[in-house]
Amino acid sequence: MKVLAGIKIVNLAANLPGPAAAQRLSRMGANVIKIEAPAGDPMEIYSADWYRDMAAGHTVVRLDLKLPAGKEILLDLLSSADVLITATRPAAMERLGLGPAALQQKFPRLCQTIIVGYPAPRDNEAGHDLTYQASMGLIDPPHMPRTLLSDMAGAERAVSSTLALLFNRERSGVGGHDIVALSEAAEAFAEPLRYGSTVSGASLGGGIPEYNIYRTADGWVAVAALEPHFKQRLEGALNISTPEEYRAAFAGQS
């Protein structure tokens, strides 16, 4: 559903979380203007295809916000915008005169979604997906993570924050700002591990045969018969019940 049709979003964020959030909001119908530095978005170098997909349908404008002319163009865009997404260190935005308080005073109905690495007082510290995951125990050395969980979780949080700000504006008539910390997104997504649900030997960590992964003749298979009725049907069909019987049954499958 294009529930955000007519909503104008200015996205100042580069790399992943901000553009991924803007992509989701665009798919809901929002009109997105993507502001890039003169050198472009580094994401275009790291993953050109992904960059193009995330920016599809967006208007891309390159501005040097350190120059008066670039800042003036941005302010002109914000004068008719509903949402601003940023992922620049708060101190840098303040130096540019683009902090949340200054923008709120100038544009009272503007909703600002501010993506940072860590919550205050560490909100000016740099961070990366890998270190967020590592600090939460989500890395299995020496293997690198298969997905950018913290960044993508942060993007989803940024979408939720944006929608909440817009909803609140409908009720109050004024905008506001919300801070999305990627480290907190990683912490939330690590809750299954922190509460012990996915540690080795736990019910969701390989401790029960009906919820596990098994080697087959040509690879691996994931088995998730967690609910009793699914477990009963699976074990009845294969005549299995013990971990050893599960392993033997799937070892010959392809």
* 167 shares a domain with 53: yes
Residue 138 belongs to some domain of the structure = yes
CB 188 within 8 A of CB 149: no
Judge if 120 and 227 occupy the same domain. no
CA proximity to 222, closest of 236, 234, 212: 212
Task: Looking at the structure, tell me whether residues 133 and 215 fall in a common domain.
Answer: no
DSSP 74-106: HHHHHTT-SEEEE-S-HHHHHHTT--HHHHHHH
Q: Which of 137, 17, 152, 148 is nearest to 85 (CA)?
A: 17
Report yes or no on 201 lying in a domain. Answer: no
Q: Tell how strand 111-116 and strand 83-86 pair up.
A: parallel
**Residue 206 belongs to some domain of the structure:** no
Together in a domain, 149 and 71: yes
Q: Is residue 198 part of a domain?
A: no
Q: Say if residue 175 is in the same domain as residue 224.
A: no
Same domain, 88 and 184: yes
Q: Are residues 129 and 166 in the same domain?
A: yes
| Per-residue pLDDT reduced to its tens digit, 19-72 | 999 999 999 999 999 999 999 999 999 999 999 999 999 999 999 999 999 999
Three-state DSSP state, 53: helix
Residues 15 and 98 in one domain: yes
172 lies in the same domain as 240: no
Q: What is the pTM of this model?
A: 0.92
Q: What is the pLDDT of residue 5?
A: 98
Tell me if residue 155 falls in helix, strand or coil.
helix
On whether residue 30 sits in a domain, the answer given is yes
| One domain for residues 243 and 128 | no
Asked whether residue 176 falls in the same domain as residue 241, the answer is no
Q: What percent of the chain has pLDDT over 90?
A: 98
Judge whether 197 lies within some domain. Answer: no
Residue 70: which domain range?
Answer: 8-192
The reply to whether 167 and 246 lie within a common domain is: no
- 153/222 Cα distance (integer angstroms): 24
CB 93 within 8 A of CB 46: no
pLDDT the model gives residue 202: 96
Quick one: how far is CA 40 from the chain centroid? Answer: 21
Closest to 15 in 3D by CA, of 201, 37, 24, 27: 37
Count of domains forming the chain = 2
Residue 28 inside a domain? The answer is yes
Q: Which of 165, 192, 219 is the last residue of a domain?
A: 192
- Return the pLDDT at 110: 99
Closest CA to 159 of 2, 22, 14: 22
Question: 61-118, pLDDT tens digit by residue?
Answer: 999 999 999 999 999 999 999 999 999 999 999 999 999 999 999 999 999 999 999 9
